Amino acid sequence: MKKLIAGNWKMNGNLAANEALLRDIAAGLPAQPACAVAVCVPAPYMAQFKAMVAAVPVLSGIDLGAQDVSSQQSGAFTGEVSAAMLKEFGCRYAIVGHSERRHYHGETDAVVADKAKAALAAGITPIVCVGETLAEREAGQTGEVVKRQLAAVIHTNGHCISEIVLAYEPVWAIGTGKTATPEEAQAVHAVLRTQLKAATDQVARVKILYGGSMNASNAASLLAQADIDGGLIGGASLKAPDFLKIIAAANA
């Protein structure tokens, strides 16, 4: 399976910094990388990304992603961005259910499932995030939590579940500098793979990314695991040398 390295810029960047970052990535990006690459940028910068692709052709090898999407198609939902709007900017991916959205914005498993459904209906691949808190891990509830979160998405999306990308992001390892060991991450990815196998006979199409502080130094060991198909990269995606090293690890 072709690996996927997806950068999540979160609420970072400005016009000048974005241009410098993308030009630096372009300078080190293989003409035909063996892995798929995406960057999920803040919504106001999607137009800038499209303009940069036109100006720097090698960037056409990077897919555009959004950091969120509304579960609604249109209407009186101030501040929301619909999947159809994202599609007009050539958006290939949309992150749904990131732990920060679940924690700070109160998104439930059902809301996340509906957002995934809205993305799929517009032809956008949702990157569905699941993961446990430190308290849940210490209580031995990791498997229970991630299976519950994924079950909601399976229930709402049925046979379309084979069209998603799944990302395991242990909440305790996001932005903390901590990371699951390759063996710990692999164990959870294997649980998720088994759950997907029970839901679709097209499980081989579903990429499962690791999203807990993957960086230039640990990417190779994480990506070597049998059920880790790529990474959802936070802070390291804002540093061109680090992001390129992770891409190189996925290309190996």
Q: What is the 3-state secondary structure (H, E, C) of the chain?
A: CCCEEEEECCCCCCHHHHHHHHHHHHHHCCCCCCCEEEEECCHHHHHHHHHHHHHCHHHHHEEEEECCCCCCCCCCCCCCCCHHHHHHCCEEEEEECCHHHHHHHCCCHHHHHHHHHHHHHCCCEEEEEECCCHHHHHCCCHHHHHHHHHHHHHHHHHHHHHHCEEEECCHHHCCCCCCCCHHHHHHHHHHHHHHHHHHCCCHHHCCEEECCCCCCCCHHHHHCCCCCCEEEECHHHHCHHHHHHHHHHHHC
Given 98, 100, 107, 132, the catalytic residue: 98
Residue 169: active-site member: yes
98 annotated active-site: yes
Catalytic residue among 19, 100, 107, 169: 169
Residues with catalytic function: 98, 169
